[in-house]
Structures are given as C-alpha cells and as structure tokens.
A and B are shown apart, each in its own frame.
Chain A
C-alpha cells in the first residue's frame, strides 16, 4: 500500500521531496553510525586504552582535561579523585554498558517471546491471565522494581541484569503476543494448519519470522532504556560492584567535585546521554519502518 501523500504531486515538486529524503536518510545514518562507533569502542576500546578499575594513582588526582600526568602522558579527559584516567574509564564503561544492555535485552526478548508467542497463538485462559499480569507490570514503575531487587542482593552483574529484566520482558511479551495474533489470521498460517502442520512448527516457521522486524525495533528502543537503568542503579550505589567500571558510578563519584572538577561527571554523562539518544532515534526509525512493513 502506498501512502496517499506519496503520489504524483510530490514528484512534481522535486526539490522538497529530495530534501526530505536526504533528511530522512541522515536521521537513520547518523544515529546508526554513532551507535556503531560505540559498539566498536565496546569491542576494541579496552584493547587500545587499557584501564584497570582497581589501580589508583593519587599523585595524578583531579588533573584537568589535557593536563600532563606524572608519567608524562596526557590525560585528555582529565583524571578523577583517585587519579584514574577519565578517557580509559569512559571506554571501559562503554563495554560495561553495551554488555549489560545486550545481555538484558536478549534475556527480555527471549522471555517475552517464549511467553507472548504461545499466548497470542493459542489464546484462551492462559492468554487472559498473562494479559492481566502484563497490565499490572506496566502500571508498576520499572525502575522502582529494579531498585528494590538490586538493593536486596549483593552488587553484581547478574543481579543488575535480572533486576532490569524483571519488567523489561513485558513490552516484548506484549508485542509478540499482538503480532502473533494478527499473523495467525493470515492465509499461510491457516493453510499450514489445514495441512496438519504441528502447532510448534507453525509458530517457528510461519509466525516467528514475521515478528523479527518489530522485535528489532523494540530491542533498539529498550536497549537505550536499559543502559540508562543500569547507570541509574550504579549511580545510586546498588548497581555494579566498585571493581567494574560503569558510567553511573563515574558520574556519582564526581558529584562532590562538580564545582572544582566538572569533568569527572560531565564526560561520562555526555557519553551516556549521546548513546541513549542515538539508540532511541535509531529505534524510532526502525519502529516506523517495521510498523509500516507490518501492515503491508
């Protein structure tokens, strides 16, 4: 189906259409590129800028961005209150954030699919119960749930992933349920059913592939929120242990120095904000593309 606006009229007014196209292209390309840079930094950054979260160097504490350290190197983004290099800290934090984001989003997507797919396909009482559970969890503020769970257990990567997944799976379950419900009415699914294909195979071969698009869009959207959630928990001191670098912890450790050493909080804050915004923009673009694709 074509959008009513995209008819001959637009072709006549060539320039605005081209401008819109270029703009649209860039709104996808720029966030995509920036997110790709973050991913590369997460993968290879610690190799280029090695960072030991335990080692401190008190003689180099609170150096400004661009200052020379006692070893003669330049601290491009300054150092923190225990003399740790902020650049290395941000690079190492990128890996942590991307790792937590990927793990959590995978767990959420998996749980959401496992629950949402059969619920949408078979319907019935289980579906009804599930829908109510989803309603309740959506009404509950997810960050509060995460704070409670993360606060109850000793700090660690696993706890953070579980705490953030507790409410994160809900949107995936809801999406996969509704997408399954509309897909199962399609002719090819009906045909497969009539031919006696077992339900499991119908789900995997004829329904699941059509969920991929919307799922990818949702993964991108959730990814940003999860990274933000992890930084929030670490900022509060209930996220990752001190031996793991995290942007949230870096931001928190600079709170006392905002007036004298702003760079401790500012640079990790910028890194975090940029990633979350770009992932959000990317997710938004994917979302609008696949929603259209889904209705085709």
Chain B
C-alpha cells in the first residue's frame, strides 16, 4: 500500500495553533556596542507631523511635535511655564495681553534663524486650517513689533497653558513640508513611516541642551500583548497606557520600572448630535443611565479608573463636580419608550484604543438588557479620524485630556457651536463660554466654567464616566525618563549610562 503523506491541513492547523500561542517579536540581539537608541511604543500612532492641521489635537501628533518644534514657552514637570523660544514674557495688568521676548540664538535645523515672523505665520496657519487645536487661539490676535518680540492679545484672559500648544514651524510650510519637517526643537526627523514608526536624532543646532541619546524611535504597536512582550524582551524601552490586568506581570521584572500617574484624561463618549436619534437629551441621558459604569470601572480598571463627575478632571481649573448619573435600567427603558426611541436601530460606537475593548463589550451588554443594540467598532487611527471629522459615527469614544490644565482648553474649545466637534449647539452654553473667554477675573471664570460644565453634563452631550490614571513601564537602565500626566513624556533628557 502506498504510504500516505501527513495531510497538509494538519500541518496548517498545528502551525496556526502554535502561531496563536506565540507572539511575533524578535529577540534582542547582543550587540557589542552600548545601547544608544531609546525605543518607545506610545498609545497613539503618528499619522502626520503637521502641528497645525487636522491631526493637531491628537497626542500622536503633539507628542513628537514637542520634540521637533520649539514653542514660545513650555511646561516643566511641575506644570510651571519655562522659557523655550521666549526668554522672558510679561502680561498686562488684566492678563489679556502678553509680550514675549524671543531668544536671538534660535535657528531651524536648516540653519535659518527663528524670528517673530515665523511665530506669527505659525499662529495664523493654525487658526486658518481650523484643526482641533485652533480653538485654543480663537479670538487671539498676534503682532510682531520687531524681529524678536511677539505680542498676543485677546478680549479675555490669555492662558499660558494654551500658548504652550503653539508649535513654531517655518513661515512658508505646506502640507508636503511635513514628511521631513524643519523645526528648532531638540530633535530632527530622520524618518517617518505614518502609523508605523518615527525616528528622531538629536538636533545639533538646538539652542538648549542637545540630547545625549543617539536616536529616539517611536514605534507604533497596536496590540497590547505584543507591546508588553516587546518591553519584556528589551525590543522597546518604554510604553504606557498599560491595562490593570497586565500590570502584575510587569512589576516582578527587575529590568523594568512601573509607575502610575494621574492624568487629565476623561473617557469621553460623544453622541453624534447630527443624528435624529440623539436630538433629545432624555434619550442621551437614558443611554448613560442604562450602563452600570461603576461596576465596569471597578472590575476592569480597579487601579487606573475612577468614576468621573465632570467632562474635565478635578486637577483642571474650572472643574466642578456634578451629580452622578444613577444606574437605573428600568427608568432608562421607560425614558427611551416615552421619547419614541427606535429600538430596531444599531448604534455604532467607534474607538481606537485596544485596552477599551472589554469596557465597550460590557457597555454593549448593559444596553442589550434594555433592548438597545450597541456595536463597538475598533478603527485604525487614520480611519477613525477621517470618520470622526466626517461625522460618520453614532457614538464616538475618546480619552480627552486638558493639556493646559484649564477648562478653557477643554470645555471652552470643544463645546461652542462654532467648534462643531459633535454637532451639539446650545445658545445658552455658547453665551456662557463666550463670557468665560472674555473674562480675566479668575473666580468669575471658575464660576462660568462650572456652569458650562453643568450644562455639558446634564444635557449629556456625551458620556463622561471615567477619570484615567495611566501606568508607565520603562527600561530601568534608562536615565531621565519621567512619566508624564499628559501621556507625552519628554524624551530629550533620556540617556543610557
């Protein structure tokens, strides 16, 4: 009898099972030279290095931008403003006008000097492109009385935290300039592969301390398990946004340092107010009420999540706690029935963070109990942004932070009618926000933002269930790495040895 070969399918089956049980990472090679590349795997992919365009609000763009471009001023580890391009600055009495004196030794990486003309052009470009970050400078005018002086003016209070979000590029940039951008920050771009990797090398013409590390590499690894394996094998040196379930496996490793920090991030799930289904605040509140967020947070994020009582976090100016939404599925169902909600429709919630897959599955489960179908759809960062900007979603999932530690940068930027981030428009809220933006008196501003925050919360423009702490883990041999509450650690001081 002819001998039968082993069926090919059997080989395939075994291979697939084995492949499922292993993680495709390459082992670190023992190189004789000392390690001189710091590799980070951040949570958010970098699509573009244009700090003024459609990506300007995303951490994937702002984080590398902080390494590549200069800003007038920048926050230090304690949130205090330190000089960057501006050597000194002084406000007028009411805080509605600031004069910045630029340093004269700053040059772009191509050798041309950085002057007030570039600062003006950058601000004008940011406002003109109307990207998400442009709201930080709504109503702000800029003047350049001489080559090294810039004056910012506004009707209301100018917030230095927002000023620190202006990245200075060359004056004549176009979208094409950002494949190999020219900046005056501590690093220059060696290579950008969108959504894959970004390689930075020290900028030898930088006016500050030139980084000692040979190369900084941003590598985007979407799978958390792969990211953590890469960290343990030494393929990457730092990552953050680690789910609580996985932290235990890392703390036993002496080669790694693990630390948790409070962030300003709040889990934000906006309803698409352009959809007829979400026109009614009763419907939005009912959906929120139908989900047992307290239990979900306690089981899935016991360490890194806390129930939130506002759309901004308590460490942000203008915060005020609102009344918690009580979990009551029966009342939610009744409210939906009363407002004629169509139970036959499927609501799609779009997200990009893999660590929230279980969170969203639990939400879908709770909503299914009252007959509402929620379908979580995970999207790749670029597609997510495109769909988000095109309002091609029912509910949208994000973690929104407040980099300037002031409600003006969150509530004030995202919720006016003109911002049109989620389709919600309320003249009362608009009036409050305009009032707050035009006021220099801090206590009055705090009151106004608290009032505005109450509308955002009570009207359920979105659901804001959770405050986020984030877990960082990094190579214990690296010096100078400091976890950052805004998920954007400064990599310029990092070095080995």
List chain A positions with a Cβ less than 8 A from chain B. 3, 5, 20, 52, 54-59, 61-62, 81-82, 221, 224-225, 228, 231-232, 235, 237, 241-243, 251-253, 255-260, 265-266, 269-270, 272-273, 276-277, 279-281, 283-284, 288
Contact = CB atoms under 8 A, between A and B. Distances in A.
B14 interface: yes
Contact of A81 (B8, B23, B245, B378): B245
Contact of A277 (B4, B10, B299, B368): B10
A256 B300 contact: no
B338 interface: no
Contacts of B9: 221, 224-225, 228, 276-277, 279-280, 283
Contacts of B224: 256
B375 A273 contact: no
SS class, residues of chain B in contact with chain A: helix
Interface in B233-256: 243, 245-246, 248-249
A265 B19 CA distance: 11
Given A61-B299, A256-B228, 10 more contacts: A54-B361, A58-B295, A58-B362, A59-B295, A59-B299, A232-B16, A259-B249, A260-B248, A272-B17, A273-B16
Nearest to B360: A242
B340 interface: no
21 contacts: A3-B1, A5-B1, A54-B368, A55-B365, A56-B362, A57-B365, A58-B300, A58-B362, A59-B299, A225-B9, A231-B16, A232-B16, A242-B361, A242-B376, A255-B225, A256-B228, A256-B245, A257-B245, A260-B245, A280-B10, A280-B13
The winner among A235, A277, A283 for most chain B CB atoms within 10 A is A277
Given A54-B364, A281-B10, A251 B20 contact: yes
B10 A228 contact: no
A261 B257 CA distance: 24
B394 to A, nearest CB: 14
A241 B375 contact: yes
B8 A20 contact: no
B291 to A, nearest CB: 12
B39 to A, nearest CB: 21
A237 B378 contact: yes
Contacts of A242: 361, 375-376
A266 B20 CA distance: 9
A47 to B, nearest CB: 21
B213 interface: no
Contacts of A252: 20
B225 A82 contact: no
Given A256-B224, A260-B245, A225 B358 contact: no
B457 to A, nearest CB: 25
A228 B12 contact: yes
Given A55-B365, A269-B20, A243 B375 contact: yes
Contact of A82 (B2, B14, B249, B362): B362
B375 A272 contact: no
B26 to A, nearest CB: 18
Contacts of B248: 260
Given A20-B1, A81-B245, A265 B21 contact: yes
Leading 6 A-B pairs by shortest Cβ distance: A280-B9, A276-B13, A280-B7, A56-B365, A58-B299, A256-B225
A269 B365 contact: no
Contacts of B4: 284, 288
B5 to A, nearest CB: 9
B117 interface: no
A255 B1 CA distance: 44
A183 to B, nearest CB: 24
A74 to B, nearest CB: 21
The winner among B8, B16, B362 for most chain A CB atoms within 10 A is B16
Contacts of A5: 1
Contacts of B357: 253
B296 interface: yes
A133 B21 CA distance: 37
B441 interface: no
A235 B14 CA distance: 15
Contact of A58 (B12, B14, B17, B296): B296
A231 B296 CA distance: 29
Contact of B246 (A52, A56, A256, A276): A256
B90 interface: no
A252 B225 CA distance: 10
Nearest to B7: A280
Contacts of B296: 58
Contacts of B7: 221, 277, 280-281, 283-284
A276 B376 CA distance: 30
Nearest to B348: A154
B223 interface: yes
The winner among B7, B20, B295 for most chain A CB atoms within 10 A is B20
A89 B57 CA distance: 40
B21 A276 contact: no
Contacts of A221: 7, 9
Interface string B272-304: 000000000000000000000001100110000
Given A58-B299, A243-B375, A258 B10 contact: no
Contacts of B365: 54-57, 82
Contacts of B10: 276-277, 280-281
Contact of B249 (A3, A237, A260, A288): A260
Given A225-B12, A228-B9, A255-B225, A269 B245 contact: no
Nearest to B2: A288
A273 B299 contact: no
Contacts of A54: 361, 364-365, 368
Contacts of A269: 17, 20-21
A57 B295 CA distance: 10
Interface string B359-379: 001101100100000011010
Contacts of B358: 56, 81-82
A94 B288 CA distance: 35
Nearest to A270: B17
Nearest to A292: B2
A266 B21 CA distance: 8
A276 B12 contact: yes
A108 to B, nearest CB: 15
A284 B6 CA distance: 9
